[in-house]
């Protein structure tokens, strides 16, 4: 399973209790200069590699996630820098980072950073300012991928992977229902309104499920819906600590979302972990899901096609994006060696992480995407369509999740509101309630 798939299928990291713990860490780590590492000064990208060993903390296992081949390639290219690679489960990453960085011992030197949480890492003093060393590489990345590492006009992390969403469809189920196949041309993308009608027809014609989201009730998946209508990403104000998801656009988008389930077009009760298997088994007519579905479809019996994610009638296309970045420990004793590793992983040759890891992984850079699209999963006609759509969406329609130091509370509360709407709650009532809860939860940051 690819990193992006791991990212997409994870459980929520924690509830509000974990968010409260993070707030305490934020308070503890926001003291004077003596309590923080260098803010980008005193080191630079070296012209000659230093001799050093760096500690790297990831969520990917060295063997099962095929990271050994990446580390071997780096050490071959930079023989004087050795990598002490460590991995922890995703659910343990934040707590492990908090504990290790608080020790100020410099372990790890480099770590995997979940993009919507980069603002909190920077605010807590757990990430090194990379602006001076890496701002010159901005054009090496897709714009939204680079922006995911920004907080208060400074760069705190380098993206190594990306994601997007596509509309997949089962040709046999559409044919059975007498439905046309959606266009693969982004300029002729389907509307959500038309998809709702067609999915209902497909279900009436025998499909078990008319339509599925790969990740029901999750902000990553659903954020673009109100954005397409002109709504905000969900928060505004100083440091994005004012909830902003009760607008007309949000209510309209999530009234439509709730209607999917009221009308039986999409199922209630299905877990996100069950959606891909349902489509791959031929039980659903349509699914909006990430590129990680393509390898599964390539080895399935489903005759499938792909189209751009739909847009609301009269709206502007917007699609999910984001994945993982690399950040540097501000207390690292090997910052120059760490910077060499980060640049090699994210920039060199399109990104060593993308080039040398055998699992297909969507790159965060135009150069890296060329390598990604050379993978065999894109050799079929549908795969070639998918490659063109992915390239277009990541360059033109991608919308980052809202950057805020209160992201854990934001995601937890909003995802619950989405679940309530799915189960029959009025959209406006659920969003108003969530906004009140979040306003209270965020007071500790203000």
Would you identify the CATH topology of the domain 3-16+34-162+323-372? D-Maltodextrin-Binding Protein; domain 2 (3.40.190)
- CB-CB contact of 345 with 352 (8 Å): yes
pLDDT value, residue 34: 32
Domain boundaries, the chain: 3-16+34-162+323-372, 166-320+402-445
- CB-CB contact of 364 with 344 (8 Å): no
**Calpha distance 356→74 (Å, rounded):** 9
pLDDT per residue as tens digits for the range 40-96:
568 999 999 999 999 999 999 999 999 999 999 999 999 999 999 999 998 899 899
Phi-psi region of 404 (alpha: psi -120 to 50; beta: other; left: phi over 0): beta
**Calpha distance 162→394 (Å, rounded):** 8
pLDDT per residue as tens digits for the range 263-285:
999 999 999 999 999 999 999 99
pLDDT value, residue 94: 87
Q: Which class is domain 166-320+402-445? A: alpha beta
Over residues 400-414, mean pLDDT: 95
- CB-CB contact of 250 with 224 (8 Å): no
Angle formed at CA 192 by CA 415 and CA 234, multiple of 5 degrees: 35
Average pLDDT, the chain: 92
Place of tokens 């790159």: 363
pLDDT per residue as tens digits for the range 331-388:
999 999 999 999 999 999 999 999 999 888 899 999 999 999 999 999 999 999 999 9
Q: Who contacts 220 (Cβ-Cβ below 8 Å, separation ≥6)?
A: 8, 320, 322, 401
Are domains 3-16+34-162+323-372 and 166-320+402-445 of this chain identical in fold? yes
What is the separation of C-alpha 260 from the centre of its chain, rounded to a whole number of angstroms?
Answer: 24
What is the separation of C-alpha 199 from the centre of its chain, rounded to a whole number of angstroms?
Answer: 27
pLDDT value, residue 41: 61
Q: Residue 6: is its pLDDT beyond 80?
A: no
**Calpha distance 302→297 (Å, rounded):** 7
The residue among 257 and 90 whose pLDDT is bigger is 257
- CB-CB contact of 217 with 418 (8 Å): yes
Over residues 198-204, mean pLDDT: 99
């Amino acid at each position: 399973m690819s990193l992006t798939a791991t990212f997409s299928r994870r459980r929520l990291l924690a509830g509000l209790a974990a968010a409260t713990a993070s707030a305490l860490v934020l308070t503890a780590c926001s003291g004077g200069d003596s309590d923080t590492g260098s803010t980008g000064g005193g080191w630079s990208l070296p012209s000659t590699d230093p001799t050093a060993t760096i500690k790297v903390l990831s969520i990917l296992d060295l063997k099962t996630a095929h990271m050994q081949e990446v580390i071997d390639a780096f050490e071959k290219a930079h023989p004087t820098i050795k990598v002490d690679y460590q991995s922890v489960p995703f659910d343990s990453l934040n707590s492990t980072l908090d504990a290790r960085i608080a020790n100020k011992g410099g372990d790890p030197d480099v770590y995997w950073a979940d993009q919507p949480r980069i603002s909190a890492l920077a605010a807590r003093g757990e990430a090194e300012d990379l602006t001076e060393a890496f701002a010159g590489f901005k054009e090496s990345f897709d714009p939204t991928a680079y922006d995911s590492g920004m907080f208060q006009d400074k760069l705190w992390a380098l993206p190594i992977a990306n994601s997007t969403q596509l509309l997949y469809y089962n040709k046999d189920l559409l044919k059975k229902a007498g439905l046309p196949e959606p266009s693969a041309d982004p300029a002729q993308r389907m509307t959500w309104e038309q998809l709702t009608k067609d999915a209902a027809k497909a279900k009436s014609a025998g499909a078990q499920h008319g339509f599925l989201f790969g990740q029901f009730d999750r902000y990553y998946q659903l954020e673009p819906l109100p954005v397409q209508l002109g709504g905000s990403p969900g928060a505004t104000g100083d440091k994005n600590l004012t909830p902003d998801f009760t607008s007309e656009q949000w209510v309209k988008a999530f009234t439509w979302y709730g209607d999917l389930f009221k009308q039986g077009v999409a199922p209630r009760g299905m877990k996100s972990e069950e959606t891909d298997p349902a489509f791959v088994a031929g039980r659903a007519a349509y699914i909006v899901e990430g590129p990680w579905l393509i390898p599964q479809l390539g080895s399935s019996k489903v005759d499938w096609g792909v189209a751009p994610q739909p847009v609301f009638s009269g709206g502007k296309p917007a699609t999910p994006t984001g994945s993982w970045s690399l950040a540097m420990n501000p207390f690292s004793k090997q910052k120059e060696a760490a910077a060499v590793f980060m640049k090699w992983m994210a920039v060199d040759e399109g990104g060593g992480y993308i080039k040398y890891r055998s699992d297909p992984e969507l790159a965060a850079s135009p150069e890296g995407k060329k390598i990604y699209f050379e993978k065999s999963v894109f050799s079929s006609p549908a795969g070639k369509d998918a490659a063109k759509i992915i390239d277009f969406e990541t360059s033109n329609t991608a919308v980052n999740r809202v950057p805020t130091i209160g992201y854990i509370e934001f995601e937890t509360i909003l995802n619950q509101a989405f679940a309530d709407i799915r189960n029959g709650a009025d959209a406006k009532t659920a969003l108003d309630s969530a906004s009140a809860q979040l306003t209270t939860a965020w007071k500790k940051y203000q």
